[in-house]
Amino acid sequence: MNLTLNVWRQRNSASAGGFAIYEAKDISPDMSFLEMLDVVNERLIAGGEAPIAFDHDCREGICGTCGMVINGAAHGPRARTTACQLHMRSFRDGDTITIEPWRAKAFPVLRDLVVDRRALDRIIQAGGFISVNTGSAPDGNAIPVAKEDAERSMDAAACIGCGACVAACPNASAMLFTAAKISHLGLLPQGQAERRERALRMIATMDAEAFGACTNHAECEAACPKGIGIETIARMNRDYMRAALRRRPPAAAGGGAG
């Protein structure tokens, strides 16, 4: 296949970026999208040009490192598929493909297609955990968990933290990401003790990190490579409202474990 790439190039977070056009010739339909970029980069390096910087690691759709907007869609045209699992057979010979970084105020561009997603880590640091120190756990079977609860919790826990939900949202909201973690932990008996505090803290941090609000576009659900649904957002809103109505004086950060 022969393709034309229209790629966002930006030297660093301080510089202005712009699109550049590259020809990608003799591409095999069996290549993954990232392997196609590898080939283009090898040719750029051979020609003395700087390769296109993009984030990637496991290349099997689980680490959540890769992320780029391909022809206007986060992770590209195929549903429930990360950019690294997208294969060139999803495109046609002669296509022009536009490739951009995640666009969100909370995700500053570091270079080309690479963005800084540490804001997502900070949301987890605010309360996306169960406070249990190593060594203090009861026997694994001491707490029965209904199979259905475990399965639904797992559905939400499948989030890979790639940020596609933020990139797809017109408001650059991180509601789906935050709600997935709140659902994962809130659906399990182990997660009940901190359920209210968790919702309050994570949402406060989400807002402080300059993510937008949710206005029910559901673009996040459509873009999520792991198929996480917006019912998690409803669950989060419920937790948040309950917690806000029964608000008590705030405890120390991290569940007072320090």
Partner 1 sequence: MELRAEIPSGPISTKWSRHRFEMRLINPANKRKYSVIIVGTGLAGASAAASMAELGYNVTSFCYQDSPRRAHSIAAQGGINAAKNYQNDGDSVWRLFYDTVKGGDFRAREANVHRLAELSVAIIDQCVAQGVPFAREYGGVLANRSFGGALVSRTFYARGQTGQQLLLGAYQALARQIGLGKVRMFSRHEMLEVIVIDGRARGIVARDMVTGEMQAHLADAVVLATGGYGTVFHLATYAKGCNTTAIWRAYRKGAAFGNPCFTQIHPTCIPVTGEHQSKLTLMSESLRNDGRIWVPKNKGDRRAPDTIPETERDYYLERMYPTYGNLAPRDIASRAAKKVCDEGRGVGETGRGVYLDFADAIQRLGRPAVGEKYGNLFEMYERITDEDPYKVPMRIYPAIHYTMGGLWVDYNLMSTLPGLHVIGEANFSDHGANRLGASALMQGLADGYFIIPYTIGHYLAANPLSKADADHPEARRAVDEAGQRVRRLLSIKGKRTTTSFHRELGAIMWEGCGMGRTEAGLTSALAKIPALRDEFWRNVTVAGEGGELNPSIEHAGRVADFLELAELMCLDALERRESCGGHFREEFQTADGEALRDDANFCHVAAWEHQGDGRPPKRHVEPLSFANVPLATRSYR
Residues 184-243, interacting with partner 1 (CB under 8 A): 184-185, 188, 190-191
Least distance to partner 1 from the beta carbon of 80, Å?
8
Q: Which residues pair with 71 in a beta bridge?
A: none
Closest-CA residue to 112 (of 14, 6, 17, 5): 17
- Closer to partner 1 at the Cβ: 63 or 222? 63
Residues 94-123 that bind partner 1 (CB under 8 A): 110-111, 114, 116-118, 120-121
Q: How many residues does the chain have?
A: 258
For residue 5, what are the contacts with CB-CB under 8 A and spacing of at least 6?
21, 22, 23, 24, 40, 96, 97, 98, 99
133 binds partner 1 (CB under 8 A): yes
Q: Closest CB to partner 1 among 145 and 222?
A: 145
Q: How far is the CB of 197 from partner 1 (least distance, A)?
A: 12
Options 40-48, 170-178, 214-222, 230-238: segment touching partner 1 (CB under 8 A)? 40-48
User: Per rule CB under 8 A, is residue 85 in the interface with partner 1?
Assistant: yes
Nearer to partner 1, 122 or 217 (CB): 122
Nearer to partner 1, 133 or 216 (CB): 133
CB of residue 228 vs partner 1: minimum separation in angstroms?
13
Other CB atoms within 10 A of residue 215 CB: 11
Under rule CB under 8 A, residue 178 binds partner 1: no
Do the beta carbons of residue 101 and residue 183 sit within 8 Å?
no
Residues numbered 11 to 30 that lie near partner 1 (CB under 8 A) are 11-12, 28, 30
Q: Is residue 55 close enough to count as binding partner 1 by CB under 8 A?
A: yes
Q: Which amino acid, residue 96?
A: T
Burial 9-29 (b: 16+ CB within 10 A, else e): bbeeeeeebeeeebebeebee
Strands 96-100, 3-9: parallel, antiparallel or unpaired by DSSP? parallel
Backbone angles phi, psi at 243, to 5 degrees: -65, -40
- Number of residues engaging partner 1 in binding (CB under 8 A): 86
How far lies 146's CA from each of 129, 141, 150, 258, in Å? 20, 12, 6, 32
Residues 135-154 that bind partner 1 (CB under 8 A): 135-141, 143-147, 150-151, 153-154
Q: Which is nearer to partner 1, 140 or 170 (CB)?
A: 140
